[in-house]
Structure 1
Amino acid sequence: MWLFWAFLVFIHPLGGPPLQSPSCPWEPFEGLVAIMEALGDTNDGTLYTPDNLSVCPMEILRCFGVELSVIGHEEGPPLARAVNRLQRTLRALGPHLWGIRGRAASEPCPPCEGYPERPVLQFLVKLLELLQVACAGVHQVG
Structure 2
Amino acid sequence: MELRSVEELMDLLYACRGVRDTRMPGGSPVDLHEHALRTAALLRRSRPADKELQVTGLVHPIGQLLRPGDPATQADHAADAVCLLLGDRVARLVRRHPWHGAPADDDLASLRHADEEGRTADFDAGVLEDWRTVLELVAGRHSTLRTAD
For Structure 1 versus Structure 2, the TM-score category normalised by the shorter chain is 0.3 to 0.5
TM-score with structure 2 setting the length: 0.39
Which of the pair is proportionally richer in helix?
A: 2
TM-score with structure 1 setting the length: 0.41
Greater relative contact order (CA < 8 Å, ≥ 6 in sequence): 1
